[in-house]
Structure 1
Amino acid sequence: MWEGLFSATNALALLGWAALILLPRWPALMAAILYLGVGLLCIAYAVMFAGLMGGWFDPLRDAGLAAPDLANYSVAGLMDLFRSQGAVVLGWTHYLAFDLFVGIWIARDADAKGFSRIGQAPILLATFFAGPIGLLVWLAIRERRARAQGRWQ
């Protein structure tokens, strides 16, 4: 089950990223990436979260392990929490949804500030592969253009 969900969420995110980087940014396409891409990832996350936290899904924890202590908010506690396939897929889906959302914001912001699509591509790819690094690069680049346009938004 978890391998299938992992593959499905990855495929959905990859489709959204490919459309965002390679296709024209028609309003309907951008809405589809947001609502069908990010939205479906969020729905998948919510269902997995509820199922795992409610005990309705088998988290496939290693044999003999006690249930994770959700109150143990530490590195050790998080490592224990992610010792199940379900928790790893849940966490990965979280990354996929937020990184794609950030990619949409970067693309829209870059379009509004007049950045070429070719110039946006490396930033979007950096966001796809290493979310916060791509976002950091975009924040550094956009600042100058925003100030030159007389607005900071």
Structure 2
Amino acid sequence: MPWGGLFTFVHVVALAGWALLFLAPRGPRVAAYVLYLCVGLLCLTYTVMFASQFGSIVAGDFLSVEGIRALFASDGGIVIGWTHYLAFDLFIGQWIAKDADHKGFSRVAQAPILLLTLLAGPIGLLIWLVVRERRARASVRG
């Protein structure tokens, strides 16, 4: 498989989704583009790559650092793993954006959380969970 080309392709798809989240007006059409065109395409690409490498992945040891290192020791393993991250981080980014819109957070307030989710998914998600909980508690008391 042309791993370098696939690596570039998944980056372009992911960045297109993030650009839509940051810059496009939010609505059902944009949400569908991000979810189905970008996240869905990343998931489909991941599935094809995973299936092409199924034997070596399934034979891998997922329970030790050494086993995971061996899975990521090839270009294919790196691109497959990275596509996994890109797909899930974008999916979580879309959920955060939709949830923040429903809770009345401005796009400016969302931007740093979305950026953190793009760069370090679990950190952005953790910050959003803390921020949304604080808003929920304040609205219950208010």
- With normalisation by structure 1, the TM-score equals 0.86
Query: Aligned pair 1:50/2:40, yes or no?
Result: no
Question: Which position in structure 2 is the counterpart of 1:58?
Answer: none
SS at structure 2 position matched to 1:149: helix
The residue number in structure 2 matching 1:104 is 94
Q: What is the deviation of 1:29?
A: 0.7
Distance in 2 between residues matched to 1:15 and 1:51, nearest whole Å: 26
Report whether the alignment pairs 1:118 with 2:108: yes
Query: Which runs of 4 or more aligned residues in structure 1 lie more than 6 Å from their structure 2 counterparts after TM superposition?
Result: none
State the AA in 2 paired with 1:4.
Answer: G
Q: Distance in 1 between matches of 2:59 and 2:47?
A: 20
- Can you list the C-alpha shifts for 1:77-125, whole angstroms capped at 9, x where unaligned? 1101111100100000000000000000000100010000000001000
Aligned residues: 139
Q: Radius of gyration: which is bigger?
A: 1
How many angstroms does 1:73 deviate by? 2.0
Unaligned runs of 5+ in 2: none
Letter in structure 1 aligned against 2:28: P
| Aligned equivalent of 1:85 | 75
Identity among equivalent positions (%) equals: 60
Structure with more of its chain in helix, by fraction: 2
Q: TM-score, normalised by structure 2?
A: 0.92
Cα separation, 1, equivalents of 2:53 and 2:59: 13
User: Which residue in the other structure is 2:15 paired with?
Assistant: 14
